[in-house]
Structure 1
Amino acid sequence: RFANVIVNHDGKDVKEIVDARVTTDGKIAQTLKDRLDLEFNKLEQKIKREVNVDDFGAVPDGKTDSSEAFRKAVGDGRVRVKLSAGIYVIRGVKLPSWTYLVGQGKGVTILKLHEDTPASEWVITNADYVKGNRNIFVQGMSLDWNPDRQGGVGATGGQHSSCLTFANVRFGWVKDVEAINAGLHGIDITSPTYDHLPDTDWTKDGSKYIWVDNCVAYGAGDDGITTHYSEYVFISNSHSVDQRGTAHPKGQSNSNGIEVDDGSKHVWLINNYTSGNIRGVEVKAHKEWPASQNVHVIGHVSFRDVRCFDLRHIGHHKAEDPESTTAYDVTLTDCTAIEPIFNDMYEGLTPRALVVSAYKNVAVSNFTAIGDPSYDYKDNPVIALQYRSRNISLNNITIRGFKKAGFDIRLYGGPQKTDNVNLSNFTFYKSAKQGIGIGGGVYSVNISNGIMEGEGGTYGITSPNSQANINNVQTSGYSYAAMIKGNKYKFVPTNFKGGFRGATTSGAPLDPTSAIIAATGDNIAKGPRNFMGGVSGGSSTEGSRQAIIAANNSKTKGDGPARVVMAAQAVT
């Protein structure tokens, strides 16, 4: 095979790679172009018909019931159905496998539900929820759920009442589609039911390999774009704004822009925009169901959502709740939260740029939060890590303008504390009253490489204990740079813990309270509160409160306390 990769590589009589011209049927084509044409023709044969729905009696006049024309045009699939400009009134379209439904564009081709359509219906969904469908493409149209029909209708529950739903679909595309005023969701990528348990193969009948691109959703009764129990879902270049929240009682509507919900796995949200929702992006699950896993949010902009980015597993937050066994692996990269704001759709929910609850293994990189300096955030934090979240890294975080917030970043403590947190390369500018607040009982925190420029702030860093590792943090514009374990500092102290070794070529401080500094050779500090400085030649300490200073090949042995070797050669 390698002999066929480059033939006559000197540029004379160059021949194509032989293997590249072998078709999937084992035949050798004359050229690579011929082979590709053969394969494309086979793909085209899957689509046996190309029709226009108007030829079956559909009329895009906004009045004529075109439901039967759509049913006939779609048939049993393997068809490309073209739609004209205008408004088609329908009672819902069910798409079988191998169907390509294509209109003239958002706002040009519109599918609107008929006045008599039941509240449980969709504008578009796939035909077989039980056996599933595959290879469905919907492109270039607006879908109007028409909630004003029959004097006003709403969502009926389950996965019904959405503009477009794929349930148990393999290989689906939704491109250039606008979802208008859905009863439940604008676009829902899901399984036929929402009741899978964490100890089951919960994505077995969910949708897989779905791409939602360049879509718009607004006015939904619940979420604009959402996923449930589905895998390998890509949502890109889409907008989800101003949901109505009518699927829930007044003041209790968790209507989100884009939601990765119960049991979803391997989901990518790329270059999307949300505004006017309760949560811009929510990665979550309900109490009894598995959390979404391996979710990656890249380049998202949230503008004036209440909580711009929220990761949580409901019912697994408090100390008395069971720990989540499924809430893992979420990344946010190059995301922006702009002016989070209160919204009466969900009473009492406080605005925040980012919240992490219950999830473990969360990495946030290049995150920007921009606040309105005049807006009253009522002393709430801009970023909150809370409710038993763990293993969180925030890197390259920029926050400014939250003048009436309480903290730029708050790590909540107590019995349901967060922990195991890394904060690095952060910049706060004229923002919250306090920069970083660490709660009680939060001991595993690393804070490094930060600049906090306050304006009339109180403290740069606060902590009731001295357990955080702190390095290279600069502050200005606060009354005090830090208050740590009740002590007020005009500068941010450098603090390292855990077997410190510095300016040392080798050696091992084996106790977390011991240190080796300015040393060469294989020196070992075995006991607690041991110090070795300026040593070499395999020096070692045992016992507690030991010190070897400016010595070579010297030792303390046994369990005795309070011993020092100074300026010595080979002393034990």
Structure 2
Amino acid sequence: MEARRGENMMHLDKHHEPRTNGTLLRQLSRRPFQLNRLIEENLQLFQMYCNPNFPKPFSFSHLLLNRKYPVGPCKTFADDSGLVYPEWKTELDKEYNRLLETANREVNILDFGAIGDGKTDSTTAFQKAIGSGRVKVIVPAGTFLVKGLKLPSWTCLIGRGKGVTTIKFHPGAPKKTRLVQNADFRYGNDHILVEGLTLDWNVERLGQAEKTSAGNNRSSCLTFAHVTYGWVKNVEAVNAGLHGFDVSSTRYHYLGDGFLAPGRSRYIWLDGITASGFGDDGITTHHSDYIFISNSYCFHPSGRAHTEGFSNSNGIEIDDGSRYVWLCNNATTGCFGGVEIKAHHNASAASHVHIYGHLSVRDNRSFNFRHIGHHKGKDANSKSANHIVAANLVSIAPVFTDLYKDSTPRSLVVSAYQNVVINGLTAIGDPDYDFKGNPVIAIQYRAKNVVLKNINISGFKNAKRIKGKDRCVLVK
């Protein structure tokens, strides 16, 4: 497959099947690769050029919470299907089998009075069917209106597929409500599966409201907050006020760089999911550990969670305090950032993030790694922006965007992060699109120990190739 010029350049539309991402990436990559060899090569590059002794943030929160939320180095593996996955997936698979064995009572939502006509409020029927958990709730074809669903531990919510089974917000649901969430943010939940559904946040119910979100981690299609062992498979999130999918802690914390937030989610796998029309990000993580996102697709946000023209709406965002996150064979289009790894100035940066395969088409900044407020001048050095490994990245035709009007396009930006390995980036520009003298790649703002290998840039009109070569190691 070729990314051609002008209007014939590659496009991804709403019908794109995310499970084809891996095949597209192999076709578009300018360098053949063998996954296990690539994984080993990345490890060697990190050991050769990066500083493994990056100081660990010191804070009372770390002293108090490190024992409760331990993390440690994890190996990366690949299977014959092309899935690159973390070592801890083995544990997650065992817990998945435990969930299926424990939630062995199967009920159909229709037996509790639900009506999938897109008109009837079925909230009570869902509440009765879900009960206190240990149940597999089957939702047949149809559109079911609810005012929000809360899932207890040991619960499976299973539909008949995207576009076949739809759970949609009732017109009377408040803006702050989450469409589907776990039941107990304070004490946490475990072992929850959501599969085979379209989740429609029904943003139209808000009319012409200027902003579609109500603050913190509210207003999303699906939120896991303080969940251990969770799975979301083949689910579509439509027109979320804030996020399509949010893997989060009890609440978003902004208590400073180095702070380790409590109430973390851990061991979560999002696979085959799709998000569109989201007010902020399609898929996001906050203050959580051991997250795996694969074979997913996020496209065309509304940006309406932000002031118009200042919408930092990313396809996939690995945000404040997230640790040990793996991404494999995902795709984005029409977003501010394809993949953004970051933190706000008053939060710890996401760290230990691994990307193996991502296709970004016509995003503003395909891959954007930064710790806001720790970049230059009198800014404090980041205590936490550390450790990113990314391979087999494809950036096609990054563009200017109305989402964030003052943002110039890039294929890759690294700011403030240390110890970063990028091994395999294919950046293909549109020869008919004026890049206005901007760099395709920028390594900047206190970035350090950044390794670039197998970088292929072509097709850009009026563009610089790499800004900040003095801040990185270019390996042939």
Query: Do the structures match in fold with TM over 0.5?
Result: yes
**Post-superposition shift, 1:271?**
0.1
Q: Structure 1's 281 and 44: CA in aligned 2 closer, same or farther, altered over 3 A? A: closer
Hey, what does 2:409 align to over in structure 1? Answer: 351
Counterparts of 1:226 and 1:127, CA distance in 2: 20
Uncovered stretches (5+) of structure 1, i.e. residues with no partner: 1-38, 413-417, 426-572
Hey, what does 1:258 align to over in structure 2? Answer: 316
1:342 is the counterpart of 2:400: yes
Q: Structure 1's 40 and 255: CA in aligned 2 closer, same or farther, altered over 3 A? A: closer
1:291 is the counterpart of 2:342: no
Higher share of residues assigned strand = 1
The code of the aligned residue for 1:299 comes to G
1:91 is the counterpart of 2:140: no
| Contact 2:323–2:352 (Cα < 8 Å) also in 1 | yes
CA deviation map 1:154-200 (0-9, x unaligned): 11011000000000000000000000000000000001211154576
| Contact 1:112–1:144 (Cα < 8 Å) also in 2 | yes
| Contact 1:196–1:202 (Cα < 8 Å) also in 2 | no
Aligned residue runs from structure 1 range 389-400, under 5 A: 389-400=447-458
Counterparts of 2:258 and 2:369, CA distance in 1: 23
1:53 is the counterpart of 2:109: yes
Counterparts of 2:114 and 2:413, CA distance in 1: 49
Q: Structure 1's 361 and 42: CA in aligned 2 closer, same or farther, altered over 3 A? A: closer
Match of 2:282 among 224, 240, 243: 224
Match of 2:374 among 308, 316, 326: 316
Aligned residue runs from structure 1 range 540-555, under 5 A: none
Deviating more after overlay: 185-194 vs 39-48: 39-48
The code of the aligned residue for 1:80 comes to K
Q: Per the alignment, in what secondary structure is the counterpart of residue 70 of structure 1? A: helix
1:82 is the counterpart of 2:138: yes
| Contact 1:263–1:293 (Cα < 8 Å) also in 2 | yes
**What TM-score, normalized by structure 2, do the two folds share?**
0.78
Counterparts of 1:313 and 1:186, CA distance in 2: 23
Paired residues, number: 380
Hey, what does 1:121 align to over in structure 2? Answer: 177
Hey, what does 2:465 align to over in structure 1? Answer: 408
The code of the aligned residue for 1:194 comes to Y
The code of the aligned residue for 1:189 comes to V
Match of 1:148 among 194, 201, 204: 204
Hey, what does 1:422 align to over in structure 2? Answer: 473
| Contact 1:203–1:231 (Cα < 8 Å) also in 2 | no
Counterparts of 2:181 and 2:135, CA distance in 1: 16
Counterparts of 2:260 and 2:284, CA distance in 1: 17
Counterparts of 2:281 and 2:435, CA distance in 1: 25
Counterparts of 1:243 and 1:172, CA distance in 2: 25
**Post-superposition shift, 1:366?**
1.1
1:370 is the counterpart of 2:428: yes
1:175 is the counterpart of 2:233: yes
**Post-superposition shift, 1:49?**
2.0
1:271 is the counterpart of 2:335: no
**Post-superposition shift, 1:150?**
4.5
Hey, what does 2:90 align to over in structure 1? Answer: none
The code of the aligned residue for 1:131 comes to Y
| Contact 1:362–1:392 (Cα < 8 Å) also in 2 | yes
The code of the aligned residue for 1:112 comes to K
The code of the aligned residue for 1:212 comes to L
The code of the aligned residue for 1:422 comes to V
Q: Per the alignment, in what secondary structure is the counterpart of residue 408 of structure 2? A: coil
Q: Structure 1's 249 and 394: CA in aligned 2 closer, same or farther, altered over 3 A? A: same
Q: Structure 1's 397 and 42: CA in aligned 2 closer, same or farther, altered over 3 A? A: closer
Q: Per the alignment, in what secondary structure is the counterpart of residue 120 of structure 2? A: strand
**Post-superposition shift, 1:268?**
0.6
Counterparts of 1:188 and 1:42, CA distance in 2: 24
| Contact 1:116–1:150 (Cα < 8 Å) also in 2 | no
Counterparts of 1:208 and 1:386, CA distance in 2: 32
Higher share of residues assigned helix = 2
Counterparts of 1:248 and 1:133, CA distance in 2: 30
| Contact 1:374–1:404 (Cα < 8 Å) also in 2 | no
CA RMSD of aligned residues (A): 1.6
Aligned residue runs from structure 1 range 14-29, under 5 A: none
Q: Per the alignment, in what secondary structure is the counterpart of residue 315 of structure 2? A: strand
Counterparts of 1:87 and 1:40, CA distance in 2: 28
Counterparts of 1:282 and 1:276, CA distance in 2: 14
CA deviation map 1:253-279 (0-9, x unaligned): 000000000000000110000000001
1:67 is the counterpart of 2:155: no
The code of the aligned residue for 2:172 comes to D
Q: Per the alignment, in what secondary structure is the counterpart of residue 439 of structure 2? A: coil
Q: Per the alignment, in what secondary structure is the counterpart of residue 342 of structure 1? A: coil
Q: Per the alignment, in what secondary structure is the counterpart of residue 240 of structure 2? A: coil
Counterparts of 1:205 and 1:249, CA distance in 2: 30
Percent identity between matched residues is 53
Structure 1 runs of 4+ with >2 Å offset: 39-45, 150-153, 196-201
**Post-superposition shift, 1:42?**
7.5
CA deviation map 1:341-373 (0-9, x unaligned): 010110110000000000000000011000011
CA deviation map 1:431-462 (0-9, x unaligned): xxxxxxxxxxxxxxxxxxxxxxxxxxxxxxxx
Counterparts of 2:425 and 2:104, CA distance in 1: 49
Hey, what does 1:556 align to over in structure 2? Answer: none
Larger RCO, structures 1/2 (Cα 8 Å, 6+ apart):
2
CA deviation map 1:379-429 (0-9, x unaligned): 000000001100010001111011211x111117xxxxx63x21122xxxx
Counterparts of 1:350 and 1:61, CA distance in 2: 45
Q: Structure 1's 149 and 360: CA in aligned 2 closer, same or farther, altered over 3 A? A: same
The code of the aligned residue for 1:262 comes to D
**Post-superposition shift, 1:201?**
6.0
Q: Per the alignment, in what secondary structure is the counterpart of residue 203 of structure 2? A: coil
Q: Per the alignment, in what secondary structure is the counterpart of residue 382 of structure 1? A: strand
1:327 is the counterpart of 2:385: yes
**Post-superposition shift, 1:83?**
0.4
The code of the aligned residue for 2:109 comes to V
